[in-house]
Amino acid sequence: MLLDPDHCYHALLSHDHRFDGQFYIGVTSTRVYCRPVCRVKTPKLANCRFYPSAAAAEAAGFRPCRRCRPELAPGKSTMDSAARLAILTARRIEAGDLSQMRLPELAAQLGVSDRHLRRVFQEEYGVSPNAYAQTQRLLLAKRLLTDSTLPVTEVALASGFGSLSRFNSLFRSCYRMAPSDLRQQPVQDTAPDAPLRFELSYRPPYDWATLRDFLSHRCIPGVEHWEGEVYRRSVRLEYQGQTHQGWLQVQPMPGRPSLLLQLGPGLARAIPPVLIRVRQLFDLCCNPDEIDAVLGTLAENQPGMRVPGSFDGFELAVRAILGQQVMVKAARTLVTRLVARLGDPLPDAGPVTHLFPSAATVAATAPEVLGELGILRRRSACLIALAEQVANGQLLLRPGGDLPRTLQQLQAIPGIGPWTAQYIAMRALSWPDAFPAADVGLYQALGCRDARQTEQISQAWRPWRAYAVMHLWHRHADH
pLDDT of residue 326: 85
Between 106-110, 180-184, 450-454, the lowest mean confidence (pLDDT) is in 180-184
Averaged pLDDT score across all residues of the chain = 93
The reply to whether omega before 463 is within 30° of 0 (cis) is: yes
Work out the pLDDT band at 182, boundaries 50, 70, 90: confident
In this structure, is the dihedral angle defined by the CA atoms of residues 95, 284, 433 and 423, taken in order, positive or negative?
Answer: positive
Q: What is the mean pLDDT of residues 145-156?
A: 90
pLDDT of residue 358: 98
Do residues 426 and 437 make contact, with C-beta atoms less than 8 angstroms apart?
Answer: no
Per the DSSP assignment, residues forming a β-bridge with 224 are 221, 233
pLDDT of residue 165: 94
pLDDT of residue 83: 87
CB environment 356-374: b (16+ within 10 A), e (fewer): bbbbeebbebeeeebeebe
User: What percent of the chain has a predicted confidence (pLDDT) above 90?
Assistant: 87
- Per-residue pLDDT at 450 exceeds 70: yes
Do residues 429 and 311 make contact, with C-beta atoms less than 8 angstroms apart?
Answer: no
Provide the CB-side half-sphere exposure for 457 (13 A, CA): 19
What type of residue sits at position 200?
L
The reply to whether omega before 273 is within 30° of 0 (cis) is: no
- Per-residue pLDDT at 255 exceeds 70: yes
pLDDT of residue 479: 43
Q: What is the mean pLDDT of residues 140-165?
A: 91
pLDDT of residue 149: 84
Residue 422 CA: distances (Å) to CA of 287, 327, 369, 403, 432: 22, 18, 28, 11, 11
- Per-residue pLDDT at 191 exceeds 80: no
- The contacts of residue 154 (CB under 8 Å, 6+ apart) are 268
Higher pLDDT, 52 or 182: 52
User: What percent of the chain has a predicted confidence (pLDDT) above 70?
Assistant: 96
Active site residues: 34, 439
pLDDT of residue 371: 97
Residue 446 CA: distances (Å) to CA of 287, 314, 450, 457: 25, 31, 10, 8
In this structure, is the dihedral angle defined by the CA atoms of residues 175, 181, 185 and 186, taken in order, positive or negative?
Answer: positive
Whether this prediction's pTM lies above 0.75 is answered by yes
- Per-residue pLDDT at 344 exceeds 80: yes
- The contacts of residue 300 (CB under 8 Å, 6+ apart) are 292
Do residues 81 and 72 make contact, with C-beta atoms less than 8 angstroms apart?
Answer: no
- The contacts of residue 444 (CB under 8 Å, 6+ apart) are 476
| Ramachandran angles phi, psi of 251, nearest 5° | -155, 155
- Per-residue pLDDT at 210 exceeds 80: yes
CB environment 57-77: b (16+ within 10 A), e (fewer): bbbeebbbbeebbbbbbbbbb
Residue pLDDT, tens place only, 297-338: 999 989 999 999 999 999 999 999 999 988 899 999 999 999
pLDDT of residue 325: 82
Q: What is the mean pLDDT of residues 115-124?
A: 95
- Per-residue pLDDT at 478 exceeds 60: no
Classified as helix, coil or strand, 174 is helix
Select from 359, 330, 324 the least CA-distant residue to 342.
359
Decide the pairing of beta strands 32-34 and 224-227: unpaired
